[in-house]
Structure 1
Amino acid sequence: MPSFVGAIDNGTTSSRFLIFDENGNLVIGHQLEYRQIFSQSGWVEQDPMDILGSVISCIEGALRKFKLQGNDARNLKGIGITNQRETTVVWDRNTGKPLHNAIVWSDTRTQDIVKKLAGPDEGGADALRDICGLPITTYFSAVKLRWLLENSTEVKEAHDNGSLMFGTVDSWLIYNLTGGKEGGVHVTDVTNASRTMLMDIKTLQWSDRCLDFFGIKAEILPEIKPSSTLFGKMNHVELNEIKDVPIAGCLGDQHAALVGQHCFQAGEAKNTYGTGCFMVFNTGTEPIPSKNGLLTTVGYQFEGEPAVYALEGSIAVAGSAVKWLRDSMGVIKSAEDINGLAESVKDNGGVVFVTAFSGLFAPYWRPDVRGCILGISQHTTKGHLARATLEATCFQTRAILDAMNADSGKPLKLLRVDGGLSNSDICMQMQADILGIDVVRPQMRESTALGAATAAAIYLGIGIWEGGFKAFAERSRNSTESLQTFAPEVSEKARDDQYSLWQRAIEKCLSWDV
């Protein structure tokens, strides 16, 4: 009988469960959006039970479709998990219930804590960078957990009495899917752990120095494992038909996309255009400290293999800017409408949109900045605004690429892309024009889910992944996968003039005092 592998893909605004066959082809999937909570300016929360419920519903929905195709759920041999990173979940060890809403990665409520912890007396924003590879900023989990300890009596009491459990979304899901308070396992993988500011990226263990810095007890943390190993077995009352199916892969979403795009060689990079936008550059088995505002992170680790490191540039707002045009401004009725609107004008008409809804991430690291639209005139149309919205992500990607080239010393010649916004031909052509290099889009664009499935399937030896990581990585180098290439179509002068206008807009935005 054929074997299949599933992938739980929890994103910032929706969850999905996708099933792949033993050749890596997508068979079926199911997706559900879930509630986002914006109770105050800069606050972004989710109900952990909504996250869990959406995942369970997606698994049930995908399995229904799977069986209608004539397949047997018993042929699902393994599951991988990929998730929104840095989002912080706390729950009670005794009840298994959340103690607070999850604080999402893009939440900026911790600005005052960051100012205090990153002050000159504490060593500045880079006080822990030599250990964890990250600057002290609102982005990462440790400062969110610190805020919870300072602002939630229930969380602080649980921390003090030993009943608190902390994790990123992967840990919360695995705990519940393997039994919850009735024996659920408390684990994470190296990629998610590397986004907390609490892990030593060289030893791949929790750092005593970082824990002391943030005032966090080690007992509340999950066990760190490689990205491809046995995390536990499915044991949830609502999912009995896949009981005991092994969860054998786990990666943060951007790391999963790195695997899904087969970026297994040092010097290869991918860019994922989702709610945010994230460029990840494989640097090999040694971490490279960034001198240009990037993050040093763990790319992935397969069991029995050394960890592979990466440089990352993170953009807080990408697809969420399109959603803002749709939901908040009513400029478009569906996300896809932005393409036709952007194509209705030949250029941006001098309009530049700095989409700093949650501050600016790499390479600027200014959580206090807010968005601005510059260059509006009486001739500005919806088309100009649509085009400027797409260009905003492309310009920020250029800033990140310049930083990566400076850090690595090896200019990138090709960028692999995936994620929802990569489906836009006009956006990808803009990206190639602004970067001045080829932008390559695979035919199978579910790179994040495929990466999670790959991690599980390699550990379990399923189908094309049989033989282990090294064998699969070698085969992927000789792949004949269908790719679409967007080549630059503008002159170097036109490219530089465009980017110069963006840099001027950034300067204006950075000087705006709110």
Structure 2
Amino acid sequence: MRRGILGIDEGSTGTRAAIVGEDGACGPSFYAPIDVVHRGPTHVEQDPMQLLHKTIEVARQALAWAGDSGVEIVALSLCTQRATAILWDRLTGQPLAPAVVWQDSRYAEELARLAADWDPILWARTGRPVGTRSPFLWAARRLESLDLPASRIGFGSVDTWLVWNLTGRATHAISATNAVAFGGYLLTEHRWDTSWFDAVGFPAELAPPLADDDADYGRTDAGLLGIEVPIAAVMGDQHASLIALGALTPGEAMCVHGTGTFVGALAGPRPPTGIGAIDGVLCLVGWRAGGHSQFSLEAYTSTTGSALRWLTEDMRIFASAAEISALAAGQPRGDESWFIPNLAGLRTPVQAPEARGHLIGLSLGTTRESLARTVIDGIAHAVSDTVEAVGSTVGRPLAHLRVGGGLAASDALLASQADFTGVPIERVTDSATASLRGGAYLAGTRLGLWDSPAQVVGDQKPGDVFEPRLSPADRHDLRQRWRDVLTASLPPTPV
């Protein structure tokens, strides 16, 4: 590892940094948790200053390792959680409100009133419906109470905020893959839909300027990190995972288990037909480089890793996610108790933001081991719903799924996921750093470290493969039982 890229992955619950070398592998990974604040059942917030400070903290640790190891840092790459919105004062550099996280659904009812008219328009233009959150609507509401001129107000996603700070307040931009998650991004035109801004009352002049994922984002401020290097790639985290997990040709798919679990498949240089047929399956820019976009399909289960965090840190039923996985691994699967992980609503296979989590079928015979098995299988069922939805929309069954993210360390979860989908699951080597490495691979390709992302991805070692063990008949019966339980758990549809 003679030259390296400082890769930063700012996720929903923590920030990670590591040096990605010329062989495509990571040095030691440095991690710091990020607080998530729930001021109400629909409110999910974070402190923008903590996001910045934790990012600088782990970046400095990675750079110290590089210095001790004799690695020359040639660039920085950044991938971030998407659709988390931040407003700040450009003069003071201070946030004007807590960041509203992508899981926040405080405006779901108001947005639902817009959906009848706007869903058909937005599906065609932006690859997604109105949905249950809108950073632009949130910003419009916050701006109503601010007494500042527009020139003082900065607005954007987490990547916008971090790049603005890391470049010494020189660069204000949003990458294509983060913009598409904000909504209001015209897929085939690479520009904002100002008519959507008008619908939610957002002033178009405050929208962050759009940039390719491998654009020139300026150079890092040496006063913050101790180095001055180009920021050579900025991406949404799941899009970076598409690259690192090898979803580089149409139909190839990946799955990232983090705070939520995202399933994505590459669609190619044109948006596919059939978008909107299944709730929650979105068409996105997979990545945009050199002025050209590759499009992808994506669906997600919003509470998987966060469900385990809730069980361990908030409810304190288990000591850790690792303990849940270990207990589940030694317990046979049953169909008497069920865990429905809709702790932040449901998006796929049907959109139901008002849905809530359920733990049913318990008895005096329920043990911690059987409860752990129920939790793991409930998450695996929910993720399998998104795998099936993406496969149906892309127009072909997914024959192989490469998996990354922190929760992918659970053998029990991946074994159940293989059983329920009938698809072999490959856990990539160093799966926890998939997003970080994907951003670095795009940056390194731009700088000439590699000829293409496919080259460096192909050089990585194969991972562990979990083969389906259920017969097709048993799988069908179990999945039908899950669908019945899920349907029964949903609130009644308003008349």
Equivalent in the alignment of 1:169: 158
Q: Matched residue of 1:262: which SS?
A: coil
Equivalent in the alignment of 1:486: 466
Q: One-letter code of the match for 1:28?
A: P
Equivalent in the alignment of 2:129: 135
Q: One-letter code of the match for 1:199?
A: Y
Q: One-letter code of the match for 1:26?
A: C
Asked if residue 105 in structure 1 is aligned to residue 105 in structure 2, the reply is no
| CA 1:143–1:352: 2 relative to 1, 3 Å | farther
Q: Matched residue of 2:321: which SS?
A: coil
Query: Which of the numbers 431, 434, 440 marks the counterpart of 1:453?
Result: 440
> Hey, what's the Cα distance between the residues in 2 that align with 1:480 and 1:54?
29
Q: Matched residue of 2:111: which SS?
A: helix
The residue correspondences of 1:29-428 to structure 2 (distance < 5 A) are: 29-68=29-68, 70-71=69-70, 75-118=72-115, 120=116, 123=117, 125-149=119-143, 153-154=145-146, 157-158=147-148, 161-180=150-169, 184-235=170-221, 237-239=223-225, 241-242=226-227, 244-288=228-272, 289-293=275-279, 294-304=281-291, 306-428=292-414
Tell me by how many angstroms 1:477 deviates: 7.7
TM-score, normalised via structure 2 length: 0.94
Equivalent in the alignment of 2:476: 496
CA displacement, residues 411-456 of structure 1 (integer Å, 9 cap, x when unaligned): 1111110011111111111110000111111123121000011111
Unmatched 5+ stretches in structure 2: none
Contact 1:113 1:143 in 2 (8 A): no
Q: Matched residue of 2:67: which SS?
A: helix
Q: One-letter code of the match for 2:319?
A: K
> Hey, what's the Cα distance between the residues in 1 that align with 2:335 and 2:366?
7
Unmatched 5+ stretches in structure 1: none
Q: Matched residue of 2:233: which SS?
A: strand
> Hey, what's the Cα distance between the residues in 2 that align with 1:376 and 1:23?
50
Q: One-letter code of the match for 1:67?
A: G
Q: Matched residue of 2:289: which SS?
A: coil
CA displacement, residues 247-285 of structure 1 (integer Å, 9 cap, x when unaligned): 011110100100111211000010000000000110001
Tell me by how many angstroms 1:509 deviates: 1.7
> Hey, what's the Cα distance between the residues in 2 that align with 1:369 and 1:35?
24
Q: Matched residue of 2:29: which SS?
A: strand
Q: Matched residue of 2:164: which SS?
A: helix
Contact 2:45 2:104 in 1 (8 A): yes
TM-score, normalised via structure 1 length: 0.91
| CA 1:315–1:236: 2 relative to 1, 3 Å | farther
Tell me by how many angstroms 1:386 deviates: 1.3
Tell me by how many angstroms 1:382 deviates: 1.8
Contact 1:313 1:363 in 2 (8 A): no
| CA 1:477–1:163: 2 relative to 1, 3 Å | closer
Q: One-letter code of the match for 2:44?
A: V
Q: One-letter code of the match for 1:511?
A: P
Residues matched between the structures, number: 490
Q: Matched residue of 1:228: which SS?
A: coil
Q: One-letter code of the match for 1:488?
A: P
> Hey, what's the Cα distance between the residues in 1 that align with 2:53 and 2:185?
29
| Cα-Cα RMSD | 2.0
Equivalent in the alignment of 1:444: 430
Contact 1:20 1:28 in 2 (8 A): no
> Hey, what's the Cα distance between the residues in 1 that align with 2:366 and 2:476?
23
Tell me by how many angstroms 1:236 deviates: 5.2
Equivalent in the alignment of 2:18: 18
Contact 2:414 2:466 in 1 (8 A): yes
Deviates more, 1:382-391 or 1:420-429: 382-391
Contact 2:106 2:133 in 1 (8 A): no
Q: Matched residue of 1:5: which SS?
A: strand
> Hey, what's the Cα distance between the residues in 1 that align with 2:480 and 2:254?
25
Tell me by how many angstroms 1:126 deviates: 4.0
| CA 1:349–1:453: 2 relative to 1, 3 Å | same
Q: One-letter code of the match for 2:470?
A: V
Tell me by how many angstroms 1:87 deviates: 0.5
Contact 1:355 1:371 in 2 (8 A): yes
Over the matched positions of the two proteins, sequence identity in percent amounts to: 30
Tell me by how many angstroms 1:320 deviates: 0.9
| CA 1:63–1:394: 2 relative to 1, 3 Å | same
Q: Matched residue of 1:238: which SS?
A: helix
Q: Matched residue of 2:93: which SS?
A: coil
> Hey, what's the Cα distance between the residues in 2 that align with 1:440 and 1:80?
26
